[in-house]
Amino acid sequence: MLRTTSLIGFGSGTSGGLGPLTDITAAMWDGATSGWTLSNNDASKTSVGSGGAFSNIRIKDATAPVLDGDFVWQYTQVGDMGGNTDSSYGFFDITEDSTWSTSAFNQGLDSMTNSYWFDATTGTQNIETFEGSTSKTSSISFNTNDQFKWQRVGTTLTLSIAGSVVQTWTGTSETLRFCASGYTANKANISDIQFQN
């Protein structure tokens, strides 16, 4: 993949009080990591979940970023997500860590109060956004190799795909953690995962 060295709309990759654009590392992930290949700043779903379960992962490590203010989180969506809830991605408040699941459908995000996420829907390359269990926007399409960028300014979180904002959440909670799920091999793959905070 072509590495992205600057953020869309951020010139050199630094904006306001944010630090430099930084790669995540494989060591930052936690959860059902055996179902994934985590290499450098890429995450590839390599097998179907054991016993028909999802293999869900989250950023939770002493070296992981603390997203408790303004931030940008971006990656390239390499997999087509598969449809039929094959993949979900998003953020949740760290106070709800105990609700997050390594194997449950939708990672438990739909049982949380403060979660901001999307789920693959019927067919491929199509998502539906949520806040907790409430649907926000359905049938958002994307292309493989599109850049997905999450950005929070103040308490407003936006999701952009290929440079266009597709969802806005307001009044988001303070300290958030990124998570991803996958069932079928390769459908959930993301690459060039980077953050700025």
DSSP letters for 29-69: EEESGGGEEEETTEEEE-SPPGGG--EEEEE-STTS--B-S
pTM value > 0.95: no
CA pair distance 102, 106, nearest whole angstrom: 10
CB 103 within 8 A of CB 185: no
What is the average per-residue pLDDT within 13-23?
74
Q: Does residue 13 belong to any structural domain of this protein?
A: no
What is the average per-residue pLDDT within 65-89?
93
In degrees, rounded to 5, the angle at the alpha carbon of residue 142 between the alpha carbons of residues 141 and 146 is 165
pLDDT bin (cut points 50, 70, 90) of residue 47 is confident
What is the average per-residue pLDDT within 125-153?
96
Q: Is 122 helix (H, G, I), strand (E, B) or coil?
A: coil
The total number of structural domains in the chain stands at: 1
| CATH number of the domain enclosing 44 | 2.60.120.920
pLDDT of residue 153: 97
Q: Does residue 73 belong to any structural domain of this protein?
A: yes
Domain that holds residue 97: 28-196
CA pair distance 152, 131, nearest whole angstrom: 15
42-45 and 176-182 beta bridge pairing = unpaired
pLDDT of residue 50: 64
Q: Does residue 123 belong to any structural domain of this protein?
A: yes
pLDDT bin (cut points 50, 70, 90) of residue 2 is very low
DSSP-assigned letters across all residues of 2-17: PPP-S-TTSTTT--TT
